Chains A and B, each alone.
Chain A
Amino acid sequence: MIQSQTHLNVADNSRARELMCILIIGVSNHRYAHIGDVIVVVIKGAVPNMPLEISEVVRAVVVHTCKEHILDNGMIIRYDDNAAVVIDHEGNPKGT
């Protein structure tokens, strides 16, 4: 359940440290993002002297949520943090 102003950890090696959600891509008036949703984020913390900088607006896909995620087979998974992976507009991850 990620909404705007939510801080997320970064789950890849794209040199960003912390992201803050601004918008959720998809249907307008989408209130919350779950695992697999694409969100627009601003980079709040980054490793210095690297391609991604603080206050840069990028897109990310949510990979971990503290709110339980229900799979199709009935399994419920809960993570310990909220995390996302930085992607570009095509959907390819920026990290490796």
Chain B
Amino acid sequence: MRLEKCWFCSSTIYPGHGIQFVRNDAKIFRFCRSKCHKNFKMKRNPRKVKWTKAYRRLHGKDMTQDATFEFERKRNRPERYDRNLTENTLKAIKVIDKVRSRREETHIKNRMKGKKSKITKEALKELDQQIHMIKAPGAMVKDASATTSAKVTVKVQHDTDENRMEE
């Protein structure tokens, strides 16, 4: 039994799922579900279809190079059954999965850095330019003269751990 990768979306194909298509030049295309199969029949290029792993890797959305990917390389030589080896492999798979997903998350987080400040900046700019959509220009002027922004300092008493009521 072997877990294959879908040719279109690169997800794992578990036994009993999907369709394999054998082309006349003996190249085998494996698909995980009919969605991928139908896209293939439509002659779509997975590198251009946004939800596939191929697109995400190509456009830098997902991690491309990492040491954890080396563990998952396809090996064609069958290994002789060794109980210790199997046990260690199963344990290693769990650890490697955890490490890889953690690294992928940090990759995406780094990619999204600065997004929040960008959004707030754009929102402020839009507010400046498009305020006439919300308030009439005349009302704005009247409001400005009425409210003189006098800064009031308010002392906030922080509850220290000792003073907080015990639960």
Contacts and interface: CB of A to CB of B under 8 A. Distances in A.
Interface of A: 64, 68, 73-81
Please classify how large the interface on chain B is, using the bins under 10, 10 to 19, 20 to 34, 35 or more: 10 to 19
B20 A78 contact: yes
Contacts of A74: 15-17
B24 A76 contact: no
Contact of A81 (B15, B19, B24): B24
A76 to B, nearest CB: 5
Interface of B: 15-24
B15 A80 contact: no
A64 B16 CA distance: 21
A76 B23 contact: no
28 contacts: A64-B22, A68-B19, A73-B15, A73-B16, A74-B15, A74-B16, A74-B17, A75-B15, A75-B16, A75-B20, A76-B18, A76-B19, A76-B20, A77-B19, A77-B20, A77-B21, A77-B22, A78-B19, A78-B20, A78-B21, A78-B22, A79-B21, A79-B22, A79-B24, A80-B21, A80-B22, A80-B23, A81-B24
Q: Which 3 A-B pairs have the closest CB atoms?
A: A74-B16, A76-B19, A80-B24
A81 B19 CA distance: 16
